[in-house]
Chain A
Amino acid sequence: NAGVTQTPKFQVLKTGQSMTLQCAQDMNHNSMYWYRQDPGMGLRLIYYSASEGTTDKGEVPNGYNVSRLNKREFSLRLESAAPSQTSVYFCASTLGALMNTEAFFGQGTRLTVV
């Protein structure tokens, strides 16, 4: 059981380049999330998708776009990378937006923008 899978694990981008972080879950979860983790800042929500077909902004959405491709997949796109987007990105999923359950996380993507 893979759980939540993120690709790639590491990426170095030049300022202005674009890329898409991929996330897939095999637990039939309805809700999916993208967080970024920065030193001393904890986990901050970028975007989330409460259910297939919906996406909403989180705490720090600027510079990012997302696509909920289907129930399994939720991608995060950086259109024009900036050094401030250097961070570790985590995708997570939960069973649903109508019940309290724990989140399952991927292993993270360490992104460096130079």
Chain B
Amino acid sequence: DQQVKQNSPSLSVQEGRISILNCDYTNSMFDYFLWYKKYPAEGPTFLISISSIKDKNEDGRFTVFLNKSAKHLSLHIVPSQPGDSAVYFCAAQHRGSYIPTFGRGTSLIVHP
């Protein structure tokens, strides 16, 4: 049973517009959430994270929002750039194990 779900396998946006990637989780023990970016033939790299004590974390063009009551988080990329085209993985961890649990990923394509 998937504990971290990314229900959109792919997303296509125009350069300069906002990209919104969504993630839902089922385990209420998760208290730390991360987004990773993966280019073809490379390993995933860390992008941004958020602790459950916050509802928003911003880093340049990237903002992650957390809605604990809905067990939902989203990654906003503004403005989107062609270099943002990659697969984005949502991951969650909790104090009991700290083992990253990943969603299935969303492939983002940003068109020039």
Contacts and interface: CB of A to CB of B under 8 A. Distances in A.
Interface of A: 4, 31, 33, 35, 40-45, 48, 58, 90, 92, 94, 96-100, 102-108
26 contacts: A4-B43, A31-B98, A40-B9, A41-B104, A42-B6, A42-B89, A43-B89, A43-B102, A44-B102, A45-B99, A90-B43, A90-B44, A92-B100, A94-B100, A98-B98, A99-B98, A100-B31, A100-B51, A100-B95, A102-B34, A102-B49, A103-B34, A105-B44, A105-B45, A107-B41, A108-B43
Nearest to B102: A43
Given A99-B98, A102-B34, A40 B104 contact: yes
Interface size class, chain B: 20 to 34
A103 B41 contact: no
B97 A97 contact: yes
Given A42-B105, A94-B98, A100 B93 contact: yes
Nearest to B90: A42
Contacts of B98: 31, 94, 96-100
Interface in B8-31: 9, 31
A97 B42 CA distance: 25
B78 to A, nearest CB: 22
A33 B102 contact: no
A106 B99 CA distance: 17
Interface in B62-112: 89, 91, 93, 95, 97-105
A113 B49 CA distance: 36
B101 to A, nearest CB: 8
Contacts of B91: 103
